Amino acid sequence: MKKMDKYDIAYNPPAPIVEVKISKPFSTEFMTLKGKIDSGADKSVIPDGLREVMSLKPGKEMPLKGYDGRTTWKPTYYVTVLLKGFQFDFVDVLSSERKEMLIGRDIINNLKLLLDGKNKYFEITDP
């Protein structure tokens, strides 16, 4: 049987949470944080605090539509993302005031993701 990860029951409702490592482009200094799988998000989002600590430089700018339907222009930041042993270079992510990272479809769509919500298990593999 394949090794699956448990949902984090500290979240209500329980959520698929993974350990993520983030670094600046070309840097080998990674910062570790929790990442919440969010298949509804077009793009991944990192915490503002992490962006500040890492002194990330803005790159692109995109119109972002939030849950309230309002659209605002936001800068994005290129980072390296390490997730379950898979490395993604130059992923451009958004930043917002939050504690953990939101892992959106920009990353998820490169992997195989199995969510077994009923049994509170999930699996991330590279097809």
Residue numbers at the binding site for another protein (CB under 8 A):
24-26, 38, 40-43, 45, 52, 55, 57-67, 71, 75, 78, 89-92, 94, 96-98, 102, 104
87 close to 28: Cβ distance less than 8 angstroms: no
- Minimum CB separation of residue 101 from another protein in Å reads 12
Which H or E run includes 108? helix 105-108
Distance CA 59, CA 48 (A): 15
- Identity of residue 36: K
- Minimum CB separation of residue 123 from another protein in Å reads 22
| Between 21 and 74, CB nearer to another protein | 74
| Between 86 and 125, CB nearer to another protein | 86
- Minimum CB separation of residue 111 from another protein in Å reads 17
- Minimum CB separation of residue 37 from another protein in Å reads 11
33 close to 51: Cβ distance less than 8 angstroms: no
**Token duo for residue 27:** 């840097």
| Between 91 and 124, CB nearer to another protein | 91
Residue whose structure tokens are 């490169």: 110
From the list 15, 17, 95, 109, the residue with the least C-alpha distance to 51 is 95
| Between 4 and 14, CB nearer to another protein | 14
